Chain A
Amino acid sequence: AQSVTQLGSHVSVSEGALVLLRCNYSSSVPPYLFWYVQYPNQGLQLLLKYTSAATLVKGINGFEAEFKKSETSFHLTKPSAHMSDAAEYFCAVRAPNTGNQFYFGTGTSLTVIP
C-alpha cells in the first residue's frame, strides 16, 4: 500500500531563513511524488513533481525537492522564506500499480515570522 508521512504538522521559520518540510513515502514500486501548496480558502496548487527523471526537482516560487530512494524521502526546501510562503503544504504519492490514485499526507502548516 502507498502512504505518505509528513513530519511536523506545523513549522515556523523566520523571514529569510531556510524552509525545510519533510515528507517520507512508502511504495512497493517507484512512485511519482508531488508537493502541493494550499492558501487559505483556495484549492491546491502544484509546486513541483518527481516523475523518475532528475532526482532534484525545481518548482515554482523558488522551491525544490530531492528524491532520495535510500531514505524514501522527498523533502521540500527553499533557501530563503518569504512572508507569502505562509500556507499549508501537502506531499502526495502516486504509484502506477494502484490505478494512479493519489495519496496525500496530512499537511504541514508553514508560518513565516517577520
Chain B
Amino acid sequence: EAGVVQSPRYKIIEKKQPVAFWCNPISGHNTLYWYLQNLGQGPELLIRYENEEAVDDSQLPKDRFSAERLKGVDSTLKIQPAELGDSAVYLCASSIGGTDTQYFGPGTRLTVL
C-alpha cells in the first residue's frame, strides 16, 4: 500500500514569491492534515480536512496561506507571498477518520531566501 505522497520534497524560493505544495493521501483516508514543522520543533497543525471540507483551519495564517482539497482526495497548500519566516518543513498526514492514527508523508522542506 502506498503511503502519503508529497511533492516537491525540497523547494527554494526568494521571498515574496508564491509556492505550492501537493499531497496525495493514502487511498481511502478521508481526513487530511497539513502541519508546519519548524527546526527543532514538533509539528503544528495548519488545517484539517474531512473529505473536501476544512473542519479546522484556526491555525492557518489566512492572509498568505491557502489550501484546497477540491475532490476530497489530494490537496494543495499555497503560500503567497512567501516570507523568510516561512522556511520550514510542511508535512501532510492522513487518517481513515478524524479519530484514527495519522500517517505522515516525507514532507516538503521550504527554504525562503
| Residues B56 and A101 in contact, CB atoms below 8 Å apart | yes
Cβ-based interface call for B44 (8 A): yes
Given the interface pairs A43-B104, A44-B91, A101-B56, the reply to whether A107 lies near B99 with Cβ below 8 Å is no
List residues of A whose CB falls within 8 A of some B CB.
Answer: 4, 9, 34, 36, 41-46, 49, 90, 92, 96, 99-102, 104-107
A residues less than 8 Å from B6 (CB atoms): 43
Bound state CA distance, A90 and B104, in angstroms? 13
B residues less than 8 Å from A44 (CB atoms): 43, 91, 93, 104
List residues of B whose CB falls within 8 A of some A CB.
Answer: 4, 6, 9, 33, 40-45, 48, 55-56, 91, 93, 98-99, 101-107, 109
Q: Which of B4, B42, B56 contacts A92 (CB 8 A)?
A: B42
Q: Which of B9, B42, B48, B104 contacts A45 (CB 8 A)?
A: B104
Q: Which of B4, B42, B55, B98 contacts A105 (CB 8 A)?
A: B42
Given the interface pairs A99-B56, A101-B48, the reply to whether A43 lies near B4 with Cβ below 8 Å is yes
